[in-house]
Amino acid sequence: MTVNLIHLRRSGVSVVVDVSAGVPVIVHWGQELESVDEELLLAQVYPPKQPGSVDVTAPIAVVPQHGDGCFARPGLAGHRPGGRHFAPRFSQPKVAASAHSLNVTSTDSAAELRLCCEIALCESGVLSIKATVTNNGTNRYLLDTLSITLPLPKSAEELVTMTGSWSREFSMHRQSFSHGAWTAENRTGRTSHEHPPIVWAVQHDANEWTGEVWGAHLAWSGNHVLLAEVLVDGRKYLQLGELQMAGEICLEPGGSYSTPEVVATYSSCGLTPASWNFHRNVRLNSPKQKSFSLRKVLLNTWEAVYFDHDEAKLKQLADLAASVGVERFVLDDGWFGGRRNDKSSLGDWWVSAEIYPNGLESLISHVQNLGMDFGIWVEPEMVNEDSDLFRAHSDWALVSPDYEPVRSRNQLVLNLAHEPAYQYVFTKLDSLLSDNRITFIKWDMNRPHVQATLHGGAAGTHEQTLAVYKLIDQLRAAHPNIEIESCASGGGRIDHEILRRTDRVWTSDCIDPYRRQKIQRGASMFIPNEVMGSHIGAEKAHTTGRVHSLDFRGLSAVFGHMGLELDLGKCSDGELKSISQIVAWHKKHRELLHSGDVVRFDCESASQIIHGVYAVDRSEAIISVAQLAKEHEADVRVLRLPGLDVDRKYRVSTFAANFAASHDVGELTGKQLEVDGLNLPSMRPESGTIYHLLCV
């Protein structure tokens, strides 16, 4: 068999690709190789003929082809009118390669299709793969799917997946991966609360710091499908792609469709180091990538005032916010049109003359005179039927005229793929930003797509997602200094593609610190701390009704992009002082918290969450130990800290519960911290301790 192997290599990882056939085949994705053993690698992906099967066992290509005799789920499926050419077969590859990337373009002359696969081992350490199919024919090609497939070794014996729901995002599950298939499908029009687009395959004994792990994420903000399968011959693979509704992608002659980017990571040292590649990918592609910018502590008004907008009260809230160290004041829902509740005015993006008869200038000036900048909430993709916009343009909703629409939160989706609707929204937002000194947008999306239908009758989620990207890009081009938060009823739209355009995500509508500890740990599997909005809420949590101390609320907020979301006017003088101390502590340490390597530590019981941040040069570290529930016999008693500089000495101290002072523990070497560890104190439920390590 004639092969052509290309070796892409970065520190700690190698990707070897066979480009001899029509579609590239990854023959190795794992530990860094000094040299390529062709015979050994090929034996793993080209197994011998199976009894009772076809003559040649086809490899699992980046885009598996049923027409080649591969029995994995086809990576490309579609057909010409009449069902013709439903199983294409590509050949005659043309290869362009560099040290860290390659492009393979091949054709199927019978089906009149061209397929281009782009594979890159990026500076961040992630493996990036995309594919594009082009219709070279003279009639339409109806595309059902184009997905990316990553072969896995047999040593990937378990899956780590995520599920969730509103206010319970990023719940982690671990299961055997020895036979059959696991799949997750999302049809909500966003990444969803239920099935975020991330999946891990791991060795059975892998944990945060040991064992081989392979993770894959679909960088796409719309519908998606994830698959992990074990074929009958034992070969394994992951497959990720956009989930397309029936008839959603129709390629006219000359038309093309490109997959979302699949971003994948590998580590031989566990889940924590593998996550660093994901985090670097976000950081390198962030709007803030050109210069490190401190994330401003903000106050969001939602859980302070809800829809009860009163300018005098908001100014008092701003006064208190500034007094505790807040740097940004964000005006949430209720400032526009006739918006006094959630039943009206979405789409009427002008300042309410009823609440703000002189516009927002007075409030903005007050906020800025206090040394803070001003942000605002919008939901540009939605429309209330009770709105001036809908009364004038009911045909702009992303619904089918043949059916009564399924409503959610008293609103419909606005069809941004319809050019007049798009231009209307852009003009209103552009005017809002041009006419007011606004530096931050909280961009919300509070309902899923249901029967999202374009004017031509086809499914519209794909086009809507691209229109959202275009709208954000156009606004950023017109207002380059604006910062944007991606919110979708909390964590319903979080992915690496939206984070190319936005500066942070709202991790969850749930600010209950007990739940937030778990939510943020799960989210840290593929996004870094500094993009996770994490707020101190009221003593009694809005979403759960549970009551927590201010110390525990602070502990759960200080590691992310910190904010406040409570009525400071109801706080005592002592509480305001404590909040100011927590904010001051966060500001003192946020450069480390928002630029270092996020670390997680294994807990055998569900009653603890232990995580932290190491400075990239390992000169400093901050570790949080949160006791969620009553102490369990399986709780960590001695915390061992791998990954530090074993030859350096660290002064270890703990912070008091109110972040006001620290207490010395002593000086230990990195080796002692890794081997002997730290003895943890006994802690009551819903409390915690922060350790600070500094090289001496």
Same domain, 560 and 624: no
Catalytic residues: 444, 509
What burial class does residue 15 get, using C-beta atoms within 10 Å of its C-beta: 0-12 exposed, 13-18 middle, 19+ buried?
Answer: buried
Same domain, 494 and 617: no
How many C-beta atoms surround the C-beta of residue 410 within 10 A? 16
Cα(196)–Cα(696) distance, integer angstroms? 42
Same domain, 347 and 199: no
Same domain, 308 and 365: yes
Identify the pLDDT of residue 290.
53
Q: Domain containing 544 — which CATH number?
A: 3.20.20.70
Same domain, 568 and 626: no
Q: Domain containing 611 — which CATH number?
A: 2.60.40.1180
Q: How many CA atoms lie within 13 A of 179 on its CB side?
A: 1
Cα(469)–Cα(498) distance, integer angstroms? 8
Same domain, 233 and 217: yes
Same domain, 350 and 498: yes
Same domain, 25 and 152: yes
420 within a domain of the structure (yes/no): no
Where a domain ends, among 285, 320, 349? 285
Q: How many domains does the chain have?
A: 3
Provide φ and ψ at 470, rounded to 5°.
-60, -40
141 within a domain of the structure (yes/no): yes
Q: Which two tokens stand for residue 551?
A: 């110390």
Q: What is the mean pLDDT of each run of 10 residues along the chain (696 residues)?
A: 88 96 95 92 80 84 94 96 95 96 97 98 98 98 98 97 98 97 98 98 97 98 98 96 97 98 98 98 86 85 98 98 98 97 98 96 98 98 98 98 96 98 98 98 98 97 98 97 97 98 98 98 98 98 97 97 98 97 97 97 95 98 97 95 98 88 94 97 95 97
Taking Cα atoms as reference points, which of 94, 422, 365, 64 lies closest to residue 235?
Answer: 64
Cα(437)–Cα(456) distance, integer angstroms? 40
Beta partners for residue 269, in sequence order: 211
Q: Which residues contact 684 (CB under 8 A, 6 or more apart)?
A: 627
Q: How many CA atoms lie within 13 A of 373 on its CB side?
A: 13
214 within a domain of the structure (yes/no): yes
Which segments within 289-368 are labelled E, that is strand? 298-300, 328-331
Could you give the angle at the alpha carbon of 286 between the alpha carbons of 517 and 415, nearest 5°? Answer: 90
249 within a domain of the structure (yes/no): yes
Same domain, 139 and 170: yes
Q: Domain containing 278 — which CATH number?
A: 2.70.98.60
Provide φ and ψ at 562, rounded to 5°.
-75, 145
Q: Which two tokens stand for residue 165?
A: 């729901």
* Domain span holding position 607: 599-695
444 within a domain of the structure (yes/no): yes
Same domain, 244 and 334: no
Where a domain ends, among 531, 560, 595? 595
Same domain, 158 and 223: yes
Taking Cα atoms as reference points, which of 111, 62, 118 lies closest to residue 90?
Answer: 111
Give me the DSSP letters along 37-102. Answer: -HHHHHHHHSPPPPTTS-SS-----SS--GGGT--SPPSEEEE-GGG-S-S---EEEEEEE-SSEE
304 within a domain of the structure (yes/no): yes
Same domain, 547 and 678: no
Amino acid present at 410 = N
Cα(429)–Cα(471) distance, integer angstroms? 10
The strand order across the sheet containing 5-10 reads 5-10, 13-18, 25-30
CB 398 within 8 A of CB 464: yes
CB 114 within 8 A of CB 106: yes
